[in-house]
């Protein structure tokens, strides 16, 4: 019979035992995060020159089409992502892989521009949207007291994809062309990632039906009816006296409901959600804008494109290191104590880029961005579970993912408009630092309250 339990808050499982027992599901999250690379901007951009030449597209026109495709995927994301709360995980994962493969075939065979745009919507939905959403939601849903560690391990799939895939894909495009390159993506999705993900889920031995899992969890802390009595503080990782709205704790609105009862409509009425939302959206917003125009930024600073590309090493290394550290920190101190400060490294990096004249500024900027992205990628999924429980976690995270995709669709337009003007880079970075200050101040609203604080 599938194992319904999740490590309970009352007695944290030793880390070694956690990895020995849970490596299949951890591997599933890491592989799926890696798989999301095929729909991310950094990899899709490698196909852009071939598509522009084939369809006679200028940079501005392709940028507009790309933003439209990204917005299209954002429109579909709340509906598609919420299926993760109702559909068995192997079935959902198979559908995700098939969608990626079908979209890749559409990209490679598109005879006319509208077909290319529809296929691009599918690529963005499957990769940037659903693959990332599923990897992080599963880690947050199944891992209870070791949620932070699980999220940090799965999050390693992102920098691994950024480090390993671009050179491989670029070599493949150079050898067989951009259309055959997309066919290769489809083949790898179906023949490699599909079977691998299915095997890892099979080996995990966990309950794959989200409805049954939620029913088991509602009987007690993490599916154990006796755990509530053992852990009166309430919830997965709940701590007495902190006003936690985590699973098993009282709702923040005083209604007496538990955190597991929070659905999307109720979350939207929670002031804490709107206070922390800028902190959740700002890192991908600014990363998309500044990375897409990294060559233009380098030219404005007098740096070569090769230097800017090499600075991504600092981004990847700091993202990996910080993600692992924050994962352990989430398990020890809660994500609510970490997320409000996650924007600060990005603001410092922007300030250093603004002030720097030497080439070190590129590496300092990328390191700051890597720290902010690493902190957010690990802590944010845990935060939604802490505040609102896991019953509707798929729907809640799908809503946030959709908002993130919308924001990243708009950021290139703002950055491109500013960079075309004198002093645009300075203004862009100043806006970025100002947004960090505002986002940090708002996010402080979610810090746990001490016992007796009104």
Q: 366 near 121, Cβ under 8 Å?
A: no
Confidence check: pLDDT of 106 > 90: yes
Q: 246 near 234, Cβ under 8 Å?
A: yes
Confidence of residue 194 (pLDDT cuts 50, 70, 90): very high
Instruction: Show the DSSP H helices in 83-112 as ranges.
Output: 89-109
* 15-209 shares its CATH topology with 264-446: yes
Mean pLDDT, residues 381-393 taken together: 77
Measured distance CA(9)–CA(237) in Å, rounded: 5
Mean pLDDT, residues 88-111 taken together: 93
Average pLDDT, the chain: 78
**Coil, strand or helix at 3:** strand
Mean pLDDT, residues 211-229 taken together: 48
Provide the pLDDT for residue 193.
Answer: 95
Mean pLDDT, residues 175-194 taken together: 94
Q: Which CATH architecture has domain 264-446?
A: Up-down Bundle (1.20)
Provide the pLDDT for residue 228.
Answer: 35
The residue ranking higher by pLDDT, 253 or 24, is 24
The span from the first CA to the last CA of the chain, in angstroms, equals 46
Confidence of residue 11 (pLDDT cuts 50, 70, 90): low
Highest mean predicted confidence (pLDDT) among 5-19, 281-295, 433-447: 433-447
Report, in angstroms and rounded to the nearest whole number, the Rg of the chain calculated over CA atoms: 22
**Coil, strand or helix at 221:** strand
Domain range annotation of the chain = 15-209, 264-446
Confidence of residue 213 (pLDDT cuts 50, 70, 90): low
Confidence check: pLDDT of 101 > 90: yes
Q: In 3D, which of 164, 444, 157 has the Cα closest to residue 323?
A: 157
Determine the CATH number of domain 15-209: 1.20.1250.20
Measured distance CA(415)–CA(177) in Å, rounded: 31
The Cα diameter of the chain in Å comes to 67
Provide the pLDDT for residue 33.
Answer: 92
Confidence of residue 9 (pLDDT cuts 50, 70, 90): very low
Provide the pLDDT for residue 386.
Answer: 79
Residue 55: count other Cβ atoms within 10 Å of its Cβ.
14
Measured distance CA(136)–CA(150) in Å, rounded: 9
Provide the pLDDT for residue 227.
Answer: 36
Measured distance CA(165)–CA(173) in Å, rounded: 12
Confidence check: pLDDT of 119 > 60: yes
Measured distance CA(228)–CA(370) in Å, rounded: 39
> CB-based contacts of 241: which residues, under 8 Å, 6+ apart?
450, 451, 452
Q: How far is CA 121 from the centre of its chain?
A: 18
pLDDT tens for residues 144-162? 667 777 887 888 888 888 7
- Measured at the alpha carbon of residue 17, what is the angle toward residues 12 and 21, in degrees to the nearest 5? 110
């Amino acid at each position: 019979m599938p194992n319904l339990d999740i490590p309970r808050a009352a007695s944290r499982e030793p880390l070694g035992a956690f990895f020995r027992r849970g490596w299949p599901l951890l591997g599933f999250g890491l592989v799926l995060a890696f798989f999301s690379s095929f729909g991310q901007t950094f990899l899709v951009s490698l196909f852009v020159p071939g598509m522009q030449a084939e369809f006679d597209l200028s940079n501005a026109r392709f940028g507009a089409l790309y933003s439209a495709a990204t917005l299209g995927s954002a429109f579909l994301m709340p509906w598609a992502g919420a299926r993760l709360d109702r559909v068995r995980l192997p079935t959902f994962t198979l559908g995700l892989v098939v969608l990626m493969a079908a979209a890749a075939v559409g990209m490679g065979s598109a005879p006319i521009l509208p077909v290319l745009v529809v296929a691009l919507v599918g690529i963005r939905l499957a990769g940037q949207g659903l693959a990332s959403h599923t990897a992080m939601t599963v880690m947050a849903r199944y891992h209870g007291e070791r949620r932070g560690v699980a999220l940090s391990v799965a999050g390693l799939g992102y920098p691994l994809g950024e480090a390993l895939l671009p050179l491989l894909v670029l070599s493949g495009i150079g050898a067989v062309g951009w259309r055959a390159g997309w066919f290769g993506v489809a083949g790898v999705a179906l023949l490699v990632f599909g079977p691998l993900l299915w095997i890892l889920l099979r080996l995990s031995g966990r309950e794959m039906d989200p409805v049954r899992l939620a029913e088991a969890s509602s009987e007690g802390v993490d599916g154990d009816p006796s755990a509530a009595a053992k852990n009166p503080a309430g919830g997965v990782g709940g701590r007495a006296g902190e006003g936690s709205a985590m699973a098993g704790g009282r709702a923040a609105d005083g209604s007496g409901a538990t955190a597991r009862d929070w659905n999307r409509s109720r979350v939207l009425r929670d002031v804490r959600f709107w206070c922390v939302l800028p902190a959740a959206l700002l890192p991908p917003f600014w990363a998309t804008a500044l990375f897409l125009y990294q060559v233009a930024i380098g030219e404005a600073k007098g740096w070569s494109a090769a230097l800017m590309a090499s600075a991504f090493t600092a981004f990847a290394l700091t993202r990996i290191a910080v993600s692992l550290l924050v994962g352990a920190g989430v398990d020890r101190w809660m994500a609510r104590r970490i997320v409000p400060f996650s924007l600060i490294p990005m603001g410092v990096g922007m300030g250093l880029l603004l002030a720097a004249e030497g080439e070190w500024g590129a590496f300092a900027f990328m390191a700051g961005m890597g720290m902010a992205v690493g902190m957010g990628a690990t802590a944010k999924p845990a935060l939604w579970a802490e505040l609102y429980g896991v019953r509707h976690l798929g729907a809640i995270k799908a809503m946030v993912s959709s908002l993130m995709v919308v924001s990243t669709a708009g950021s290139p337009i703002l950055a491109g408009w500013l960079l075309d003007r004198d002093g645009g880079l300075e203004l862009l970075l100043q806006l970025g630092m100002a947004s960090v200050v505002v986002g940090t101040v708002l996010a402080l609203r979610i810090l746990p309250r001490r016992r007796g604080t009104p």
